Structure 1
Amino acid sequence: MSIEARIAELEVRQAFQDDTIQALNDVIVEQQRIFTRLEAQLEALAQRQNDLHNQFEETPNDPPPHY
């Protein structure tokens, strides 16, 4: 194999690797967006659960009227 053919082969491989790296980077960026959104939703749900828990905890436990 001539040196020119080997260089051409390496350039083709590098081009494919560059495309693969860019595609992987795009996936990571999208996953980070999804992760950030899910993290905010989880925090909101935890706060809502805490609020509901506090709401029911503050209600006095009076005995039912038939006691």
Structure 2
Amino acid sequence: MSDDKVEALQQRIDDMECKIAFQEQTIEELNDALTQQQLLIAKMQDQMKYVVGKVKNMDEGSNMSDPSKEPPPPHY
């Protein structure tokens, strides 16, 4: 092979190595972002369960304080 061909092939190899390194860095950053999002989603799900529980408790408590929803007294 001529020196020009060897040099061209070496340049292509260098370019591919650079692209692979960039892709590995990008994949690592995406993995980190995905991990953080999963943790945030899990935290938000826990918070949502808490809020739903509070709302259900408020609904149950409001049924007793609303006179129209209370059973009539025994003399009726």
TM-score range, shorter chain: 0.7 to 0.9
Select the structure of larger CA radius of gyration: 2
Measured after TM superposition, the shift of residue 59 of structure 1 is 3.2
Residue 72 of structure 2 is matched in structure 1 by none
Structure 1 residue 58 displacement after superposition: 2.5
Instruction: From 18, 23, 33, give the equivalent of 1:27.
Output: 33
Distance 2:66 2:31 in 1: 55
Partner residue of 1:15?
A: 21
1:1-67 paired onto structure 2 within 5 Å: 2-59=8-65, 61=67
Q: Which amino acid aligns with 2:41?
A: F
Post-superposition shift, 1:56? 1.2
TM-score by length of 1: 0.84
TM-score, scaled relative to structure 2: 0.75
Which one scores higher on RCO, CA 8 angstroms, separation ≥ 6? 2
% identical equivalent positions:
23
User: RMSD value over aligned CA atoms?
Assistant: 1.5
Structure 2: 5+ residue runs without aligned partners? 1-6, 69-76
CA deviation vs aligned residue, 1:16-49 (integer Å, no higher than 9, x gap): 0100010011001001100110111011000100
